């Protein structure tokens, strides 16, 4: 899509509307997307899964069989409006608001997917502690070269749908700006939660290309029309993702829950697109072997359901010493469990919040330690210490990212999703 | 110039006394102006250090002390350079308005410091801003530094923030307890195209010949020279040259026993060569006394070097140094074809 089409294109417009939010944006979305004839959700909610994060079953899949993320996202960071610990009435208010969303839309990418999580700061309101089965430290820096600010609201709501109007409508309903959604009566949690930050984004072919007129991306419009993310390559290959089972807490009162790590990352892609060659981009994103053997066609749809590492992760140090670079995928794949499973399930998406190219890196994992271990593998500090690869230069994609904020959340099972006590 | 004659006081006095721009064209080599700032790449470049198509000056934006180290910020014409991964070089065409450069050094010893843990530039001018993690670079007239071509928002006053990053490389000797934290220096920069156009520039008649430009003669800012053989501390084993790299080796004693220290530097100018992957063996009477990688380190006496602990080095031992990959730093013209395939070298201990 050419720049001259900007503002005319339907999906471009919808993305912008999601970023702006509010009633006018919603009605604009309705005009542009049309009003899809969506079913309502179930009247009887008892059949909904215990896991808030059980999304994969209801998301679509691509030709290769990879789960396809919903295209539009809103993250609401929320403060508890009251003092001290929430009351049973507060709990009921939140639960009714969430149930309203479930009745309004089917639980799918074409309807609405959402989750609610809580920070360590939230649980600090209580005298009791979280059980040992929950690993939820306060957020901090996870690399020697980053200095992120901690996100410490009380709660995080993640709304996702293929339709911008659905995430916007759900947001408005929660915040008390509308009383019906998809002709279903809904209620608000605005008396209990006040938003402190709102982050938006998108993922999927076409959306990054249509929204590349932001700081951090060269003016030459380098982002490929097929690219699901700004960096120009596919991610989220089935075999690089932990299963929902793998990220689910198994024991204790929060069994069937999970943890969320959310980081806000700025992208600086001038060098990536203006100075690095495709050879270097492929090598730094995947592995030097991917570059040497030209394994990646276009954005990488040809790779199927894995990233084609063929053991490249075991050659990370050797590549660092002889090839002068290591791949992001190659490094990160070193973080696996005894069953050779990745430790985290990525549900990240790109952003143009603040007019800057960004990435909201949202991932699910059984323990925050699993995330830390994965991030340490991605840092490749061990490799940099023993080779010509720099701490950031030629070290995967670290040179092109700045982590501005980090936050950790417990995502309880559905039964405890509304203002849980630490010992429910 | 002997970078090791610097004292902290000299540097601070000098940087305080000399205004912005006083250092422009200080090399003395640069006499004529030209409107053609990017002559063609030399044809038939040798796989070696060569005299580039042109020589150009640079303008000092300023110098500041931050976190116990000195930060120098400079600019030149936006010009081509080459990024490097393994032995693959990629030409980066000139883009943007200027080539912005920084160098970080220890004011006491004059040692230019690696800032591999994330040196960053942030430029702001009103609502406009740009951020960049510049490349580690090697140029013939400046040596090892950080730099990149950057697009600006026209003429005017910019605030340039340089975040040095911590020195993540192992720090030895008097550096052991220094430079472990990042520091920030902020510069005000009045940029105009007219001032930029005054930066000296001239083409060279002997472009493509083996050789290198002379180092700039900077009064304020040390360049990244490796210590001379005479200055090397410890029991100097000797030196050997291959692929335009001059390897000097010595054995130094530390808290953890003895270590082999290898100090590779460029032929002609003697600049340190950072970000190499080196390994070494030590053969003693037909058996192998040592066989491992060397890791990067920096200290006030050895400068940037590569080292490994050893039990002992005895007379007659043969040290063989293998270059698994050459310096993984971006190259200014005249260095981009060098150091990519460096043969092994051997040095026999006296």
Residues of A in contact with B136 (CB under 8 A): 390, 393
Q: How far is CA A201 from CA A15, A75, A211, A234, in A?
A: 7, 9, 10, 16
Q: CB count, 10 Å around CB of B288?
A: 10
- List the one residue out of A392, A411, A388, A389 whose CA is nearest residue A402: A392
The pLDDT tens digits for B208-221 are 999 999 999 877 89
Residues of A in contact with B83 (CB under 8 A): 275-276, 280
Say which of A275, A322, A381 has its CB closest to residue B325.
Answer: A322
Q: CB count, 10 Å around CB of B44?
A: 6
Q: Which of A3-17, A80-94, B317-331 has the least mean pLDDT?
A: A3-17
Cα separation, A162 vs B73, whole angstroms: 48
Which pLDDT score is estimated for B254? 75
Cα separation, B107 vs B214, whole angstroms: 23
- List the one residue out of B311, B327, B312, B182 whose CA is nearest residue B247: B327
Mean pLDDT of B87-95: 90
Identify the contact set of chain A against chain B, taking CB-CB distances under 8 A.
144-145, 147, 215, 266, 268, 270-271, 274-277, 279-280, 283, 288, 320-325, 381, 384-394, 399-400, 402
Which pLDDT score is estimated for B37? 67
Mean pLDDT of B245-253: 96
Q: Measure A78 CA to nearest chain B CA, in Å.
A: 29
Contact yes or no for A9/A1 (Cβ under 8 A): yes
Residues B116, A393: C-beta atoms closer than 8 Å? yes
Say which of B85, B117, B166 has its CB closest to residue A394.
Answer: B85
The 8-class DSSP code of residue B225 comes to: B
Question: Which residue does chain A place closest to B92, by CA atoms?
Answer: A275
CA angle A362, A365, A368 (to 5 degrees): 90
Query: What six digits make up the tokens of B277?
Result: 């992957």
The pLDDT tens digits for A23-73 are 777 777 766 777 778 899 999 999 999 999 999 999 999 999 999 999 999
Residues of B in contact with A222 (CB under 8 A): none
Is B79 strand, coil or helix?
Answer: coil
Contacts of B154 (CB under 8 A, 6+ apart): none
Contacts of A256 (CB under 8 A, 6+ apart): A50, A51, A248, A249, A413, A414
**The pLDDT of residue B263 is above 70:** yes
Radius of gyration of chain B, Cα coordinates, nearest whole angstrom: 20
Question: Which residue does chain B place closest to A324, by CA atoms?
Answer: B86
First to last CA, chain B: 30
Contact yes or no for A275/B83 (Cβ under 8 A): yes
**The pLDDT of residue B189 is above 80:** yes
Cα separation, A165 vs B43, whole angstroms: 59
Cα separation, B221 vs B60, whole angstroms: 10
Residues B131, A388: C-beta atoms closer than 8 Å? no
Which pLDDT score is estimated for A65? 95
Q: Measure A322 CA to nearest chain B CA, in Å.
A: 5
Cα separation, B121 vs B183, whole angstroms: 12
Is B240 strand, coil or helix?
Answer: strand
Of all helices (H) and strands (E), which one includes residue A316?
helix A316-322
- Calculate the CA dihedral of residues A143, A144, A150, A151 and round it to 10 degrees: -20
The pLDDT tens digits for B41-89 are 999 999 999 999 999 999 999 999 999 999 999 999 999 999 999 889 9
Which pLDDT score is estimated for A8? 42
Position B345 confidence tier, pLDDT thresholds 50, 70, 90: very high
Q: How far is CA B336 from CA A261, A288, A365, B83, B133, in A?
A: 42, 20, 45, 8, 21
Beta strands in B167-286 (DSSP E): 170-171, 184-191, 201-203, 235-242, 245-254, 257-266, 277-284
Q: Angle of helix A164-174 relative to helix A88-104, nearest 10 degrees?
A: 160
Q: How far is CA B71 from CA A167, B100, B142, in A?
A: 48, 13, 15
Cα separation, A286 vs A333, whole angstroms: 10
- List the one residue out of A375, A288, A279, A294 whose CA is nearest residue A325: A288
Q: How far is CA A315 from CA A303, A323, B13, in A?
A: 20, 11, 50
Say which of B130, B136, B277 has its CB closest to residue A321.
Answer: B277
Query: What six digits make up the tokens of A217?
Result: 């991306």
Q: What is the pTM of this model?
A: 0.90
Contact yes or no for B204/B46 (Cβ under 8 A): no
Q: Which residue has the tokens 């979305």?
A: A29
Query: What six digits make up the tokens of B57?
Result: 């000056």
Contact yes or no for A203/A350 (Cβ under 8 A): yes
Position A406 confidence tier, pLDDT thresholds 50, 70, 90: very high
Which pLDDT score is estimated for A16? 73
Residues B276, A388: C-beta atoms closer than 8 Å? yes
Residues B133, A394: C-beta atoms closer than 8 Å? no
Question: Which residue does chain B place closest to A146, by CA atoms?
Answer: B118
- List the one residue out of A308, A310, A280 whose CA is nearest residue A394: A280
Percentage of residues in chain B having pLDDT higher than 70 = 89
**The pLDDT of residue B204 is above 70:** yes
Beta strands in A269-346 (DSSP E): 345-346
Which pLDDT score is estimated for B135? 92
Q: How far is CA A10 from CA A6, A109, A206, in A?
A: 9, 18, 11
Q: Which residue has the tokens 């002992």?
A: B312
The pLDDT tens digits for A146-180 are 999 999 999 999 999 999 999 999 999 999 999 99
Say which of A385, A389, A391 has its CB closest to residue B328.
Answer: A389
Beta strands in A50-135 (DSSP E): 72-80, 113-118
Contact yes or no for B75/B56 (Cβ under 8 A): no
Q: Measure A207 CA to nearest chain B CA, in Å.
A: 24
């Amino acid at each position: 899509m050419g720049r001259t089409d900007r503002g005319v294109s339907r999906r471009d417009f919808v993305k912008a509307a999601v970023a702006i939010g509010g009633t006018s944006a919603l009605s604009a979305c309705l005009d542009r997307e049309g009003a899809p004839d969506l079913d309502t959700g179930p009247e009887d909610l008892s059949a909904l899964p215990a896991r808030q994060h059980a999304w994969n079953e209801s998301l679509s899949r691509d030709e290769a069989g990879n789960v396809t993320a919903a295209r539009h996202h809103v993250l609401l960071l929320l403060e508890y409006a009251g003092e001290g610990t929430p009351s049973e009435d507060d709990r009921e208010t939140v639960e009714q608001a969430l149930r309203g969303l479930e009745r309004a839309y089917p639980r799918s990418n074409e309807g609405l997917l959402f989750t609610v999580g809580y920070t360590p700061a939230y649980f600090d309101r209580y005298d009791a502690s979280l059980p040992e089965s929950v690993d939820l430290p306060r957020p901090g820096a996870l690399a020697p070269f980053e200095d992120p600010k901690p996100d410490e609201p009380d709660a995080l709501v993640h709304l996702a749908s293929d339709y911008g109007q659905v995430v916007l409508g759900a947001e408005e309903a929660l915040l008390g700006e509308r009383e019906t959604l998809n002709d279903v009566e809904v209620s608000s949690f605005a008396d209990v939660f006040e938003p402190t930050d709102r982050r938006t984004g998108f993922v999927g072919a076409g959306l990054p290309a249509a929204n590349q007129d932001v700081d951090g991306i060269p003016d030459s419009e380098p982002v490929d029309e097929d690219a699901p993310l700004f960096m120009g390559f596919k991610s989220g290959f089935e075999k690089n993702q932990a299963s929902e089972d793998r990220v689910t807490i198994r024991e204790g009162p929060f069994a069937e829950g999970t943890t969320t790590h959310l980081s806000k990352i700025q992208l600086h892609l001038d060098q990536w697109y203006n100075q690095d060659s495709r050879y270097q981009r492929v090598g730094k994103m995947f592995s030097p072997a991917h570059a040497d053997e030209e394994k990646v066609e276009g954005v990488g749809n040809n790779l199927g359901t894995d990233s084609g590492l063929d053991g490249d992760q075991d050659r990370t140090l050797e590549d660092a010493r002889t090839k002068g670079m290591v791949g992001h995928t190659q490094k990160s794949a070193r973080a696996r469990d005894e069953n050779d499973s990745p430790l985290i399930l990525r549900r990240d998406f790109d952003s143009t919040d603040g007019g800057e190219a960004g990435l909201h890196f949202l991932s699910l994992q059984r323990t925050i330690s699993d995330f830390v271990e994965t991030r340490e593998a991605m840092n490749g500090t061990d490799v940099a210490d023993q080779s010509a690869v720099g701490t950031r230069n030629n070290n995967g994609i670290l040179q092109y990212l700045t982590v501005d904020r980090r936050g950790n959340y417990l995502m309880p099972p559905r039964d405890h999703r509304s203002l849980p006590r630490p010992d429910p | 110039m002997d970078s090791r004659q610097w004292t902290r006081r000299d540097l601070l006095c000098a940087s305080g006394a000399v205004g912005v721009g006083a250092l422009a064209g200080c090399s003395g080599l640069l006499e004529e102006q030209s409107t053609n700032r990017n002559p063609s790449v030399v044809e038939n470049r040798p796989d070696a250090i060569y005299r580039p198509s042109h020589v150009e000056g640079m303008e000092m934006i300023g110098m500041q002390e931050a976190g116990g180290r000195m930060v120098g910020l400079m600019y030149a014409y936006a010009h081509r350079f080459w990024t490097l991964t393994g032995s693959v070089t990629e030409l980066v065409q000139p883009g943007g308005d200027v080539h912005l450069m920084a160098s970080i050094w220890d004011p006491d010893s004059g040692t230019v410091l690696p800032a591999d843990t994330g040196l960053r530039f942030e430029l702001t001018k009103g609502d406009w801003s740009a951020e960049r993690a510049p490349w580690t670079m090697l140029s013939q007239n400046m040596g090892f530094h950080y730099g990149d071509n950057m697009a600006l928002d026209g003429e005017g006053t910019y605030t340039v923030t340089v975040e040095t990053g911590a020195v993540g490389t192992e720090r030895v000797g008097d550096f052991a307890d220094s430079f472990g934290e990042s520091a920030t220096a902020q510069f005000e920069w009045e940029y105009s195209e007219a001032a930029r156009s005054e930066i000296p520039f001239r083409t060279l008649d002997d472009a493509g010949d083996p050789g290198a430009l002379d180092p700039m003669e900077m009064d304020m800012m040390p360049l990244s020279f490796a210590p001379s053989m005479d200055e090397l501390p410890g029991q100097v084993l000797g030196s050997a040259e291959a692929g335009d790299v001059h390897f000097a080796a010595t054995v130094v004693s530390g808290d953890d026993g003895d270590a082999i220290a290898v100090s590779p530097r460029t032929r002609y100018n003697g600049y340190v060569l950072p970000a190499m992957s080196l390994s070494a063996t030590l053969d003693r009477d037909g058996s192998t006394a040592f066989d491992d990688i060397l890791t990067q380190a920096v200290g006030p006496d050895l400068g940037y070097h590569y080292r490994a602990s050893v039990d002992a080095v005895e007379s007659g031992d043969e040290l063989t140094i293998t270059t698994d990959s050459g310096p993984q730093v971006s190259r200014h013209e005249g260095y981009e074809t060098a150091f990519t395939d460096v043969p092994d070298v051997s040095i026999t201990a006296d």
